[in-house]
Amino acid sequence: MTGGGVLLAAGYGRRFGSDKRRHALPDGSTLLVSSLRLYGSALARLIVVLRPGDEALAAVIEAEPLAAPARVIYCADAHLGMGHSLAAGARAAGGWRYLFVALADMPWVSPTTLGRLVGAIESAGDDAVVQPVHQGTAGHPVGFGSAHFPRLAALTGDEGARAVLRRAGSGLRRVDVDDPGVLRDLDTRPT
């Protein structure tokens, strides 16, 4: 079985000042829909992690025409930090060979970059971690082989996958990309 992506979209956007998932981008689509389209077109499978009460967003996601429909899951502990949301996504990805941790506030990653990252992890072993690097700075999305799923599924708090990434050792493969989108996110409201 192949892999896919876990799109983390259960955050509260406190620094943004409102629900940034619904923030309209210049092309008229929302931040969440733009990310969904990007990752849904590049990855064979997609799990979108939302928080309880996001049924209206789930309906938008499920109505979006993608190559493969996105599976929506709800993380009851999302309010406790990103680690909980990522853990829920990793548990839902059981049986996959790899997963990419994709962030809903990063829709500017190039599809070409995503293709290179998928190729890198598909040619690596189950203990691989694939991370894009732009001009010396590590970015997202990060791909994890299935050997890392148990550690991802046990995450808590707000640290995300950093601890798992640090333990990757020789399994870490950094992919140099000419794509500033791997570093660009939307944490505060544009001025």
Closest among 118, 120, 138 to 179, alpha carbons compared: 138
pLDDT of residue 68: 76
- Specify if 188 maps to a domain: no
- Specify if 42 maps to a domain: yes
pLDDT of residue 137: 96
DSSP symbols for 27-78: TS-BHHHHHHHHHHHHSS-EEEEE-TT-HHHHHHHHHS--SSPPEEEE-TTG
Structural domain count of the chain: 1
pLDDT of residue 21: 79
d(CA 18, CA 92): 28
Strand locations in the chain (E): 4-8, 46-50, 71-74, 98-103, 129-134, 137-138, 142-145, 172-176
- Specify if 12 maps to a domain: yes
The residue type at 60? V
Q: What band does 13 get if pLDDT is binned at 50, 70 and 90?
A: low
Q: What band does 186 get if pLDDT is binned at 50, 70 and 90?
A: low
DSSP annotation of 104: T
pLDDT digits (tens, 9 = 90+) for 58-97: 999 999 888 777 999 999 999 898 999 999 999 999 899 9
Q: Which helix (H) or strand (E) holds 107?
A: none
- Specify if 190 maps to a domain: no
Closest among 99, 78, 77, 95 to 7, alpha carbons compared: 99
Whole-number percent of the chain with pLDDT over 70: 93
Average pLDDT, the chain: 90
Q: What band does 184 get if pLDDT is binned at 50, 70 and 90?
A: confident
Q: What band does 1 get if pLDDT is binned at 50, 70 and 90?
A: low
- Please tell me the pTM assigned to this model: 0.92
Q: Is the pLDDT of residue 147 over 60?
A: yes
Q: What angle do CA 67, 68, 69 make, to 5 degrees?
A: 120
- Specify if 11 maps to a domain: yes
pLDDT of residue 166: 87
d(CA 92, CA 134): 30
CATH number, domain of 177, equals 3.90.550.10
Q: Is the pLDDT of residue 36 over 60?
A: yes
- Specify if 30 maps to a domain: yes
Q: Is the pLDDT of residue 25 over 70?
A: yes
> By three-state DSSP, how is residue 181 classified?
helix
- Specify if 187 maps to a domain: no
Tell me the residue range of the domain where 96 lies.
Answer: 4-182
